[in-house]
Amino acid sequence: MEPEISRVGLLDYGTRLRRARLGLLVALIPVLMLFVSFTSAYVVRQGLPSLDPRTNNLIRDWIPVALPRLLLLNTFVLLVSSVSMELARRQIRARAVMETNSTGTGVSSSDPTRMPWLGMTLVLGFAFLFGQWTAWKQLAANGFYVSTTPSSSFIYLLTGAHAAHLLGGVVALLIASVAALLHRSLKTRSIVVDVTAWYWHFMALLWIYIFGLMKFVS
């Protein structure tokens, strides 16, 4: 018996966008689990006493670290970048939809330099990463290295892990920018930008959480 079949429909923009967003949503879960896991280690480690070999007494070795004030500025930079990321997302999305409606070719003819918000987000992203690096330098200048005290270990760990994830977003934006030069379709680029935007917002929220954890749970 011949099975009932239908022709494979070619994937439209909406399907591709939905699938990419679903993929991102799923991908955020392990990122969340990674930081949930770090948080549980943070809380557990904070409550542990340590044996002092000289006096043979149990002492607390968790020395609260004064966070560099620069982190406040970095937070501000990241939040502004989140806004510009959102504007970039809406801009490229509108163009992709407009292009679909007008020509239906799906191939970009737009000038890559006409994406000011995308460029601004990239600059702010790099600024944030540089700011975090500078904050590390300041911590070290104050005598807090990775192994100095468990609280400084966690500060380096959490900021480092967050920065590594944000760097992933920066790379995705770079790809979206370079893709324009390679004449990839505007739709494909708009999907990359859309997904990166949601990721970027997640990174901003995650940073606020991490900052709060380091500031108030120490």
Partner 1 sequence: MATHESAAHASHAHAAPQGFIRKWIFSLDHKVIGLQYYFLALTAVFVGMFLSLLMRIHLIWPTATLPFFGEIKPETYLSLLTMHGTIMVFFVLTTAPQGGFGNYFLPIQIGAPDMAFPVLNMLSFWTTFLGFIVLLAAFVVTGGAPLHGWTGYAPLSALQSAGPGEGLGADLWITSIAIFCIGALMGALNFITTTLDMRAKGMTMMRMPLTVWAWFVTAILGLLAFGVLLSAGILLLMDRNLGTSFFVPLVTVNGQLTGHKGGSPLLWQHLFWFFGHPEVYIAILPAMGMCSQLLSVFSRKPIFGYKAMVYAIMAIGFLGFMVWGHHMFMSGMSPYTAFAFSIMTMGIGVPSAIKTFNWLGTLMRGRIRFTSPMLFAIGFVSLFVTGGISGPFLAQPVLDIYLHETYFVIAHFHLIMGVASIFGIFAATYYWFPKMFGRMMNEPLAKLHFWLTFVGAYAIFMPMHYYGMSAGLRRYSQSTEVAFILRLLPIQRFITIAAFITIASQFIFVINLFWSMFKGAKASDNPWEATTLEWITATPPPHDNFGGRTPVVNNGPYEYSVPGTPRDFVMQTDPEIKPKH
Q: State the number of binding residues for partner 1 (CB under 8 A).
A: 51
Query: Any contact of residue 123 with partner 1 (CB under 8 A)?
Result: no
Q: Report 37-76 residues binding partner 1 (CB under 8 A).
A: 37-38, 40-41, 44-45, 48-51, 53, 61-62
DSSP 110: S
DSSP 113: G
Contacts of 13 (CB under 8 A, 6+ apart): 96, 97, 100, 106, 187, 191
Contacts of 86 (CB under 8 A, 6+ apart): 197, 201
CB of 80 to partner 1, least distance (A): 29
- Amino acid identity, position 66: A
Q: Judged by CB, which is closer to partner 1: 117, or 202?
A: 202
How far is CA 144 from each of CA 21, 62, 159, rounded to the nearest angstrom?
Answer: 40, 12, 14
Q: Report 1-30 residues binding partner 1 (CB under 8 A).
A: 1, 3-12, 16, 18-19, 22-23, 26-27, 29-30
Contact residues for partner 1, defined by CB under 8 A: 1, 3-12, 16, 18-19, 22-23, 26-27, 29-34, 36-38, 40-41, 44-45, 48-51, 53, 61-62, 104-107, 146-147, 150, 153, 157, 161, 185, 187-188
